[in-house]
Amino acid sequence: MIPASKKIRLILDLRQGGVLDTTLLAAMEKVPRDYFVPEAFRDRAYEDTALPISHGQTISQPLIVARMLAALDLNDRVKVLEIGTGSGYQTMILSHLCRRVYTIERHRPLLREAEARFEEMGRHNITTRAGDGALGWPEQRPFTHIVVCAAAPDIPPTLVEQLDIGGVMVVPVGDERREQRIFKVTRMETQIDVEDIGPVRFLPLVAGMPETDKLSRHAKG
């Protein structure tokens, strides 16, 4: 059992980090982060730090999650696309903040684990897909909001095209050898408006599916 004081401490840390949106903080308080990390790291679940999960991926630092979601300026009427489900932690927070979440994960085993968590926790406004996040989810466009949980080399035009006019995307941009920045991208009628939110460090946005997944599908086929 994680002491309640650790959860409260994290929320206080987020406030001190500049996150003042009470609806967002309430959603993050509802979601038990310890449920989304491997057992070996459960005692560190409420530290404001990124932690490893399976398949070489990480669960993001809570402050970064909060800043990115705050930049989206969500409400309970919007339709959000999330690129990179991971363990499902951010997805679950989003499910408390918007009408519908569409989330894509390229690692099928990770996605199955996340789906089991969503089901067990009774969240039914989440739709999942195993696939290439760089391609987005064109069948469901337009989205009012998109959040990308991996660093793209540049603002992804394919994802911009899937935004509604006036829609907002929050995306880390940069590679592992130089500074990455979080950009808030708003799609206008004939152009995009870009706001730099600040530095960040994410794993790269990788196009395509993992080789192990391709081999597995070929063997079954």
Cα–Cα distance list, 213 to 85, 129, 178, 209 (Å): 16, 14, 30, 7
Whether 216 is a known active-site residue: answer: no
Neighbours of 160 (CB within 10 A): 17
DSSP β-bridge partners for residue 58 = 52
Establish whether the linkage from the previous residue to 142 is cis, with ω within 30° of 0. Answer: yes
Considering just the CA atoms, what is the radius of gyration of the chain in Å? 17
Q: Tell me the DSSP string of 76-140.
A: TT-EEEEE--TTSHHHHHHHTTSSEEEEEES-HHHHHHHHHHHHHTT--SEEEEES-GGG--GGG
- Are the C-beta atoms of residues 97 and 123 closer than 8 Å to each other? no
Structure tokens at 124: 């039914």
Catalytic annotation, pick one of 60, 87, 95, 216: 60
For the CA atoms of 81, 180, 158, 117, the dihedral, rounded to the nearest 10 degrees, stands at -20
CB-count burial class (<10 Å; 0-12, 13-18, 19+) for 50: middle
Q: What is residue 164's three-state secondary structure?
A: strand
Residues tagged active-site: 60
